[in-house]
């Protein structure tokens, strides 16, 4: 009943507003109020267009000077990273150039050809030459970008397995990651989500009868040797996830029911990345903010925030549920000796079963 009365009241309110609008229109009918813009109106709007153009350019310059991080992207830590960065920079430069020119022409033409009494606009019903020019230029530019992008993608995805890359499985589930190494034979055992047995601690559904699975190693932290090609095999247990490693310029969807893959060669260790000037400044700035925020927490009797230290991260780049934001895994890039020492400390699959 309450809902019905609410609907009735809303209907009456809408009818009242409609009637008031009609009364207002009738009251204004006798007033001489032309909706046709005068020369003065057009001149004001023309100057406003040029003013807005100047505003756009000034804001752009200020943003570049104050917050710009040129050359846009420069902290890649994989062998193919510079190729991705170059493609991104070329695309951004072209977009910025076209945006600058077209915005200038748009606003300048609005100023130069503003409406004036007795002035008739010159126009072309059609012009094959002009249409050819403004069609062929975007075609050439886009074709060049697409061909360059495809070549870059083919070079990245063409993992040469004759180089004996390290085989690692990335296993995604709401809302965490697991890494599985192929062990001494560098061969992953067969797996299927239907084989998951929590009681046996077989959390990834690995085939317990597969000889290649016995020396597999499951971890919650991803360690990679620097300079060694890595081929990732990716699975998802539940929904669509996306394995995203920003510093390595790597991303690939993890699709339930199928295996996807992506490969790269890490070129910068975690320790080396921590020592780069840009990263030192970034960490210092973050810790400065954390110190300020900790003051309020301590005043409330809460624990202060711990200092931030840079680590490579594996993130999920698909919105996969309510805790998607927290789905991440630490990546450690280290020397081959450090990696060998770490992998020896890990428990093999056959020794981890209950």
Per-residue pLDDT band for 67 (boundaries 50, 70, 90) equals confident
Per-residue pLDDT averaged across 328-332, rounded? 94
> CB within 8 A of 329, min separation 6: which ones?
176, 177, 179, 220, 221, 222, 313, 314
Mean pLDDT score of the chain: 87
Per-residue pLDDT averaged across 39-43, rounded? 84
Cα 8 to the center of its chain, rounded Å = 48
Nearest to 82 by CA among 252, 268, 228, 262: 268
Per-residue pLDDT averaged across 232-255, rounded? 93
Per-residue pLDDT for 29 more than 60? no
Nearest to 314 by CA among 254, 272, 268: 254
Q: Judge contact between 292 and 304, C-beta under 8 A.
A: no
Helix (H, G, I), strand (E, B) or coil at 29: helix
- Of 123-137, 178-192, 247-261, give the lowest mean pLDDT range: 123-137
Two structure tokens written together for 260: 């996807």
What whole-number distance in Å separates Cα of residue 29 and Cα of residue 7? 33
Per-residue pLDDT averaged across 55-74, rounded? 79
Helix (H) or strand (E) holding 236: strand 230-236
Helix (H) or strand (E) holding 169: strand 166-173
The pTM of the full predicted model, rounded to 2 decimals, is 0.75
Burial of 103 per CB tally in 10 Å (0-12, 13-18, 19+): middle
Two structure tokens written together for 314: 């594996």
Per-residue pLDDT band for 72 (boundaries 50, 70, 90) equals low
Per-residue pLDDT for 30 more than 70? no
Domains of the chain: 166-186+216-272+308-351 (2.60.40.420)
| Predicted pLDDT at 161 | 74
Per-residue pLDDT for 144 more than 70? yes
| Predicted pLDDT at 1 | 62
């Amino acid at each position: 009943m309450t809902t019905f009365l609410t609907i009735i009241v809303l209907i009456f309110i809408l009818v009242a507003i409609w009637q008031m609008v009609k009364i207002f229109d009738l009251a204004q009918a006798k007033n001489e109020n032309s909706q046709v813009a005068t020369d003065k109106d057009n001149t004001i709007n023309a100057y406003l267009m040029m003013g807005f153009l100047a505003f756009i350019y000034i804001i752009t310059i200020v943003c570049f000077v104050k917050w710009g991080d040129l050359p846009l992207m420069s902290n890649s830590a994989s062998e193919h990273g510079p190729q991705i960065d170059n493609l991104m920079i070329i695309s951004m430069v072209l977009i910025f150039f076209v945006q600058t020119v077209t915005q200038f022409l748009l606003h300048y033409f609005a100023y130069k050809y503003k409406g004036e009494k007795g002035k008739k606009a010159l126009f072309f019903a059609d012009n094959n030459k002009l249409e050819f020019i403004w069609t062929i230029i975007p075609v050439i530019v886009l074709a060049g970008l697409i061909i360059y992008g495809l070549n870059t993608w083919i070079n990245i995805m063409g993992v040469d397995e004759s180089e004996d890359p390290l085989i690692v499985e990335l296993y995604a589930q709401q809302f965490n990651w697991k890494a599985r190494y192929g062990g001494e034979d560098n061969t992953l055992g067969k797996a299927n989500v239907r084989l998951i047995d929590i009681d046996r601690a077989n959390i990834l559904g690995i085939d317990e009868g597969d000889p290649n699975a016995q020396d597999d190693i499951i971890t919650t932290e991803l360690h990679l040797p620097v300079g060694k090609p890595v081929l990732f095999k990716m699975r998802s247990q539940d929904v669509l996830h996306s394995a995203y490693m920003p510093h390595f310029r790597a991303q690939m969807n993890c699709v339930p029911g199928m295996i996807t893959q992506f490969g790269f060669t890490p070129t910068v260790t975690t320790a080396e990345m921590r020592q780069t000037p840009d990263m030192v400044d970034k960490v210092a700035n973050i810790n400065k903010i954390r110190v300020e925020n900790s003051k309020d927490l301590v005043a409330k009797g809460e624990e202060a925030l711990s200092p931030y230290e840079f680590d490579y991260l594996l993130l999920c780049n698909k919105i996969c549920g309510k805790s998607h934001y927290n789905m991440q895994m630490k990546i450690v890039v280290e020397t081959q000796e450090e990696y060998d020492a770490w992998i020896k400390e890990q428990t093999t699959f056959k020794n981890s079963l209950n």
